Amino acid sequence: MDHHLEKRISPRHLVEGPITLHSAIGTPMEIDAHVLNCSVEGICFYSRKRLSPGVTILFKSLNCKYLCSCNDRKECLLRSISFVTVKWCREISEEGRPIFLMGAAYAMPQ
């Protein structure tokens, strides 16, 4: 199996906080998730629901307080709403329960 992943080139900024995931095709879906980092190319987040690579979803941040502590604040801002395409998904365990760590690329450039 080919494990080649498209890696983000731009720096990742640690910006933790809650987000919600919604279907991009109109099917009712609202999933609670938690963002871990962002870049100008995409985000890394986790959720209790697995999303397959290739799926495009709409994510919404729950507030605008996702600033990181680095000096380049212009690129640290997490988008408040955007379409993203899941690039990878990995199952990990948190307190004995499975959660899914995922990376997603913005579907539309900034």
How confident is residue 2, by pLDDT bands cut at 50, 70 and 90? very low
Beta partners for residue 91, in sequence order: 100
What's the pLDDT at 71?
A: 64
Cα–Cα distance, 70 to 89 (Å, whole number): 27
Give how far Cα 54 sits from Cα of 70, 77, 86, 88, 95, Å.
31, 25, 5, 8, 28
Domains within the chain, CATH numbers bracketed: 13-106 (2.40.10.220)
Quick: pLDDT tens for 8-48. Answer: 678 787 888 899 999 988 888 899 999 998 888 899 999 99
52 pLDDT more than 80: yes
61 pLDDT more than 60: yes
What's the pLDDT at 34?
A: 93
Quick: pLDDT tens for 65-108. Answer: 655 666 665 656 677 889 999 999 999 988 899 999 999 999 88
How confident is residue 1, by pLDDT bands cut at 50, 70 and 90? very low
What's the pLDDT at 64?
A: 58
What's the pLDDT at 65?
A: 60
Cα–Cα distance, 45 to 54 (Å, whole number): 15
